Amino acid sequence: MEKFVINGKTRLEGEVIINGAKNAAVAILPATLLVNGICTIENLPNISDINIYCDILRTLGVKITKTAPNTVVVDTRDVNYIDAPLDMTSKFRASYYLIGALLGRCKRAVVGMPGGCKLGARPIDQHAKAFECLGAKVDIGQGKIVATTDGLVGNSIYLDIVSVGATINAILASVLAEGTTTIENVAKEPHIVDVANFLNTMGADIHGAGTDIIKINGVKELHGGTYSIVPDQIEAGTFMLAAVATRGDITIKNCITKHLDVLSAKIEEMGAHVEEISGDTLRVWCDKKPKCVNIKTLPYPGFPTDLQSQMGIVLATADGTSIVTESIWESRFQYTAELNKMGAKINAQGNVAFFDGVPELYGRPVSASDLRAGAALIIAGIAANGVTEVSNIEYIDRGYENIEDKFKALGADIKRVTE
Ligand code: UD1
């Protein structure tokens, strides 16, 4: 087991380059199954979720060759479909995209019940609803999902809940379906637009991704091509908040500044500074104690739940009491108990937490409860007085490439040790 040991009280300064978006990559890789050809995927983050995904695709007959540190060539011409290995697919959440992609390509999908970060109940009823609307039969039970069809046919899909995964899965299943599909009440996150852009580059006919209604005209087949994954909005936001939490000064390169508008506005509301240097570079700095602010997590373009815990580190030492309302995941406040061990004063009740700002945090042994909580606890350790040990870091490796090297380059004293 590995852990991070952080010697704290460091003001982070310097530049960081953001990798490709994890949440786009875990959808685009399975989306290549809809292509009968060769795709070159650039800006693919080198993270454990992606490595697992590549291994799963290889079991289906996909040939994947790494041609550069963040580029793979994916050859899907010989997909000899067998059921996806249940033990591998149940390791992480985004394996649910195999259902939409395999239904589209092979008319049958068998996938282990998706695992992943323990953020509370993670139902997939909206995914099933979308597949059924398109003419699939979906059975959920005994640790797996089995979806079959005689042929998918375009239809109108109205999602009851704004869901990133169900929106992408509905797109994947519709691309090769016969006729036209419209999907309403969709999620609009940047990675949804990215998946649609990838598929359109390969010959799909998808309109409206990023708006309220997505329309897909089914096509007969997709061809190969080259696609570069969008920069990771959440990784960029993590470093923006690290700058504020450590009263530091970080220039964030290779991000899409527009995707970060909601966070930039909150950072400025706290009295810290955000300067847009260009469309893909932001500078964030903080020279005094930030003011308390209230936040409520919402689907894009609202405040992302995936930045709630990193923001929580900032609010733990802000001036006054901040109120945070989590409206997406019921278990997303687990990190507050760890932060309280470090001297924070946070009272989490249900989906609301009250953060009474304290003068400073103190290094302690803490444990990551999920990917983003893990990144947040690293930031807490860098800001805190003394030594912090963060365990359960396999969660962090799922979604951040070289996180300790990036923090080290900004001045942090952090090392990975084997327990
Ligand atoms: C994705 C992201 C995750 C992020 C989340 C919300 C990926 C791989 N993961 O997760 O990092 O935290 O979006 O931005 O992209 N729901 C249902 N029924 C469903 C599906 C979802 O009730 O069939 C509910 C969920 O319980 C949750 C809400 O809808 O409360 C949003 O979930 P969803 O957007 O689907 O999240 P994921 O796609 O799993």
pLDDT digits (tens, 9 = 90+) for 43-82: 999 999 999 999 999 999 999 999 999 999 999 999 987 7
Confidence bin at 117 (pLDDT 50/70/90): low
User: For residue 123, is pLDDT > 90?
Assistant: no
Q: How confident is the model at residue 119 (pLDDT cuts 50, 70, 90)?
A: low
Query: Cα(91)–Cα(353) distance, rounded to whole angstroms?
Result: 30
8 A C-beta contact, residue 373 and residue 349: no
pLDDT of residue 86: 81
* Residue 418 CA to ligand 1 centre (angstroms): 33
**Contact present, 385 and 363 (Cβ < 8 Å):** yes
Percent of the chain predicted with pLDDT > 70? 98
User: Dihedral through CA 390, CA 392, CA 395, CA 397, nearest 10?
Assistant: 70
Give residue-wise pLDDT tens across range 84-109. Answer: 788 888 777 789 999 999 999 999 99
Looking at residues 116-140, what average pLDDT do you find? Answer: 86
The H-assigned helical ranges of 369-413 are: 371-383, 394-397, 403-409
Report yes or no: 344 and 132 within 8 Å, Cβ to Cβ: no
Q: What is the pLDDT of residue 419?
A: 81
- Whether 134 has a pLDDT exceeding 60, the answer reads yes
Query: Which amino acids are annotated catalytic?
Result: 117
Cβ of 93 closer than 6 Å to ligand 1, yes or no, is yes
Give me the pLDDT at residue 112, please.
86
The answer to whether residue 215 scores a pLDDT higher than 60 is: yes
Nearest to 109 by CA among 53, 137, 58, 147: 147
How far does Cα 201 stand from its chain's mean position? 22
Of all atoms in ligand 1, which is nearest to the CA of residue 304? 14
pLDDT digit string, tens, across residues 343-372:
999 999 999 999 999 999 999 999 999 999
Name the strands in the sheet holding 249-253, side by side, starting at the edge strand that comes first in the sequence: 13-17, 249-253, 281-285, 273-278
Q: Which two tokens stand for residue 419?
A: 């327990």
Asked if pLDDT for residue 113 goes beyond 90, the answer is no
The answer, yes or no, to whether any atom of ligand 1 lies below 6 A from the CB of 23, is yes
Q: Distance (Å, rounded) from C-alpha 50 to C-alpha 273?
A: 34
> What is the layout of strands, in order, in the sheet containing 295-296?
295-296, 321-325, 352-356, 345-349
Give the pLDDT band (50/70/90) at residue 118.
low
Among protein residues, the one with the nearest Cα to ligand 1's atom 4 is 306
Dist. CA 310 → ligand 1 center (Å) = 19
Which residue type, as a one-letter code, is found at position 99?
I
**What pLDDT shows up at residue 81?**
76
3-state secondary structure of 243: helix
Nearest C-alpha neighbor of 407 from the set 77, 12, 133? 12
What single DSSP character describes residue 259? Answer: G
pLDDT at 197 over 90: yes
Q: Rounded mean pLDDT of 113-131?
A: 79
Q: How many CA atoms, within 13 angstroms, populate the side-chain half-sphere of residue 93?
A: 20
Helical residues (DSSP H) of 110-247, grouped into ranges: 125-133, 164-174, 190-201, 233-245
Give, for 264, the enclosing helix (H) or strand (E).
helix 261-269
Is residue 116 lining ligand 1, measured as CB closer than 6 Å?
Answer: no
User: What are 134's two structure tokens?
Assistant: 């398109």
Q: Is the pLDDT of residue 127 over 90?
A: yes
pLDDT at 116 over 60: no
- Band of the pLDDT at 275, cuts 50, 70, 90? very high
- Checking if the pLDDT of 217 tops 90, the result is yes
For residue range 293-330, list pLDDT tens digits in order: 999 999 999 999 999 999 999 999 999 999 999 999 98
The structure's pTM equals: 0.96
Share the mean pLDDT of the chain: 95
Q: What H or E segment, with its residue span, contains residue 296?
A: strand 295-296
User: What φ, ψ does residue 267 adopt, rounded to 5°?
Assistant: -65, -40
Q: How far is the CA of 126 from the centre of ligand 1 (A)?
A: 10
